[in-house]
Amino acid sequence: FDYQYLMISPELMNSSSAKDMIIIENLISMAQKVGFEVICAEPDNEEIAKKAYSYGCNIFQGDIFDKPLSERFFKKRLTDLDS
CA angle 21, 44, 35 (to 5 degrees): 55
| DSSP secondary structure of 18-54 | HHHHHHHHHHHHHHHHTT-EEEEE--SSHHHHHHHHH
d(CA 47, CA 7): 18
User: pTM here?
Assistant: 0.70
pLDDT in tens, 25-64: 999 999 999 999 999 988 888 888 888 899 888 888 888 8
CA 66 – CA 46 distance, rounded (Å): 12
Among residues 5, 4, 1, 2, which one has the least CA distance to residue 60?
5
